[in-house]
Amino acid sequence: MSLLLRRLSKLSSEKPALVTSSVLRRSNGFSSSSLQTPPCTIVGAAPCGADLGKLVIMNATKNGCTHLEKKVPMELVYSDPMVTIGASHGWVATRKHDGIVRLQDDLNPYASDTDPKRISLPPLVTLPRCQTQVVTNVAMSSSSPEDEDCVVAVKFLGSQLSFCRPAQANSEWINFRIASPCFYSSPVMFSKTHDMFCIPGSGGHLIGSWDPRAHKHKPKFQRLRFQNLPELTKTKRELLQSCCTSEHLVESRTTGETFLVKLYRRATASGTVKMQTKALMVFKLDEEGNAVYTQDIGDLSIFISKSEPFAVPASSFPGMAPNYVQFFDVEESISASLPRSSIVGGNCTFNAPYQIPPQNIG
């Protein structure tokens, strides 16, 4: 990790919560009237004793890494992936040997380290012929599980999708079994526009939507029609066919747009086998089910990691480039320019590959 940090930047030390956007967000954005911090990425933690470390982040508006004074539990940064199982809105979901899922704000650089919040969710219920040991990802309907109406979704590898409302008295899980195997390995996200949780099917041709608050046990499905596909050379087509693909739904809350991002990744040819991103495609979705290929998402920048994905306007955070997709995984960090069809970055090891969306200040 120390070699990685030296390579990324000359480390600096500063307080965690004072780098902010000077733009006030509207009510259809991430906040109604507060100043916001720019997006950031969790890089690691520098040990400082008693199983604690000082958080290291990469700020989306600056080059290189920043050492913070904030102390975090080292097990959240360098734990087994079965312990930290996902993140959303700056809250990390954990599950230890007792099987209880907990939401913690420890890795949010802008949350208190002297008074961290830990919220335990109800004991998980495993549906027949399902499993709840391996988690695909976690999503939330609002920025805090302490909000009265907040719904937390946990997507398990396979057919089970579970929801609960942590702030509700006597909260319990609402469990769904997904019939189609095309959703088994796909991540869940919350659409504020449609007020539903959505999952892209494998290949991206189908989207399933669930509304647990209305206790609708029959999901809605929408079939997508891909349009404006680029013409590919034989070499490019063979490259894409040799890759594993994954699909990610991302919603821009400032513009109301929804995008489907398809990542094409392939194992390295030599040395330690790791996955590398060889290409990606972005499609803009509309209400009629059209998925239109685009290399222009305007002022937006998209962030995809083990956290719930998000998109933000670059102009709200001076120094952040627009029309980019930032992808961050346990073994890779890349930045893709859509207009130039270029990818920079490469393989690095990250035990807590989480991106923190803008956080309100004041």
Residue 109 placed within a domain: yes
How many domains does the structure of the chain reveal? Answer: 1
Residue 179 placed within a domain: no
Residue 200 placed within a domain: no
Residue 199 placed within a domain: no
Residue 55 placed within a domain: yes
Sign of CA dihedral 288, 294, 298, 304: positive
Residue 235 placed within a domain: yes
Q: What is the DSSP string of 226-260?
A: EESPPP--HHHHHHHHTSEEEEEEEEBTTT--EEE
Residue 205 placed within a domain: no
Give me the amino acid identity at 340.
R
Provide the edge-to-edge strand list for the sheet that holds 101-104: 84-88, 91-95, 101-104, 118-120
By the 8 A CB rule, do 16 and 68 touch?
A: yes
Domain containing 275 equals 2-120+224-361
pLDDT tens for the chain, 362 residues: list them: 443 444 343 333 344 433 433 333 333 334 434 588 999 999 999 999 889 999 999 999 988 899 999 999 999 998 766 689 999 999 999 998 888 999 999 999 999 989 999 999 999 999 999 999 999 999 999 999 999 999 999 999 999 999 999 999 889 999 999 999 999 999 999 999 999 999 999 999 999 999 887 766 678 999 999 999 999 999 999 999 999 999 999 999 999 999 999 999 999 876 678 899 999 999 999 999 999 999 999 999 999 999 999 999 999 999 999 999 999 999 999 999 999 999 998 888 888 899 999 998 76
| Among the listed residues 4, 84, 7, 80, the one whose alpha carbon sits nearest the alpha carbon of residue 46 | 4
Residue 204 placed within a domain: no
User: How far, in Å, are 174, 267, 275, 317 from residue 331 at the CA level?
Assistant: 33, 11, 7, 27
